[in-house]
Amino acid sequence: MKNFYASFIVVIFIVFIGCAEQVDIEVEKQNVKTVLDQFIQASENENMELLSQIFAHDPDIISFGTEANERIVGWDKLRELMQNQFEATENSKLTVMNQVIKVHNSGKVAWFSEIIDWSLLSQDQEIILEGLRATGILEKREGRWVMVQLHYSVPADSQAAQE
Whole-number pLDDT of residue 155:
83
What is the pLDDT at residue 66? Answer: 85
| CATH top class, domain 23-156 | alpha beta
Q: Specify the pLDDT at position 161.
A: 46
Burial (0-12, 13-18, 19+ Cβ within 10 Å), 14: exposed
Low-confidence ranges of the chain (pLDDT < 70): 1-21, 158-163
* Residue 148: count of CB within 10 angstroms of its CB: 19
Q: CA-CA distances (angstroms) from residue 50 to 27, 87, 105?
A: 22, 16, 28
pTM of the model: 0.81
pLDDT on residue 68: 87
The predicted-structure confidence for 92-127, as pLDDT tens digits, reads as follows 999 999 999 999 999 999 999 999 999 999 888 998
Q: What is the pLDDT of residue 156?
A: 78
- The reported pLDDT for the residue numbered 101 is 98
Total Cβ atoms within 10 A of residue 135: 15
Please tell me whether residue 115 adopts helix, strand or coil conformation: strand
